[in-house]
Amino acid sequence: MSPQRWILFALSILVGIALGLIYGWVISPVEYVDTSPDSLRADYRADYVLMVAEIYQTEQDPGKAIRRLALLGGATLPHEIAAEALQFAQTNPYSPQDILLLQNLSLALQIYNASGAQP
């Protein structure tokens, strides 16, 4: 093949790659329909933690709260998740009542974590 053909061949591959990327990213991207809670957006995560805090207020069971927060998991520890949610709530206009709930949960989990207890 002549050099000109090689160039055209390479160009056609590049055009193909571009078309493939457009198809794969724009026209038919990978759809995530079965996601896990750890991929939730920050405000949804904070609301999830707030639900756990609301339940904790009634149950007063840090072990159960930790197991529930573990779903948001990944590498983050439950008391860190609670602290993150509290920080999110404080930097966003959550109601004082909700912030108090998150503070209570965060504090309880920190104490629970420091005590070395297992959920």
Partner 1 sequence: MNESKGYWYLLTGLAVGIVLGILYAWAIAPLEYTNTSPDTLRANFKDEYRLLIALSHQSHGSLDRTRARLALLADFDPITALGEQAQRFLSANASKESIQALADLSEALQREQALPTSTLMIDATPVAVTITLAAGLPQQTAIPTTTDSLSPFEPLLEATPTPELSVAPSTSATLATGRTSTASRTPAKSATPIASATLKPSLTPTATPGAPFQLISQETFCEFTQPGLLQIDLQNAAGEPAAGIEISITWLGGAEQFFTGLKPELGYGYADFVMMADMEYVLSLSNGVTRITELQAPMCDSSEGAYPGSIWLQFRQP
Pattern 33-72, partner 1, x by CB under 8 A: xxxxx-xxxxxx--xx-xxx-xx-xx---------x--x-
Query: Taking the complex as a whole, how short is the minimal distance between the CB of residue 116 and partner 1, in angstroms?
Result: 27
Confirm or reject binding of residue 95 to partner 1 (CB under 8 A): yes
Nearer to partner 1, 30 or 114 (CB): 30
- Phi and psi at residue 4, to the nearest 5°: -60, -40
Token representation of residue 61: 């069971």
Token representation of residue 14: 């590049």
Q: How far apart are CA 48 and CA 69, in angstroms?
A: 8
Confirm or reject binding of residue 8 to partner 1 (CB under 8 A): yes
Confirm or reject binding of residue 94 to partner 1 (CB under 8 A): yes
Instruction: Answer for the pair 72, 81: CB distance below 8 angstroms, yes or no.
Output: yes
What separation in angstroms does the CA of 42 have from each of 81, 83, 84, 115? 11, 13, 9, 28
Binding residues for partner 1, rule: CB under 8 A, are: 1, 5, 8-25, 29-30, 32-37, 39-44, 47-48, 50-52, 54-55, 57-58, 68, 71, 92-95, 97-98
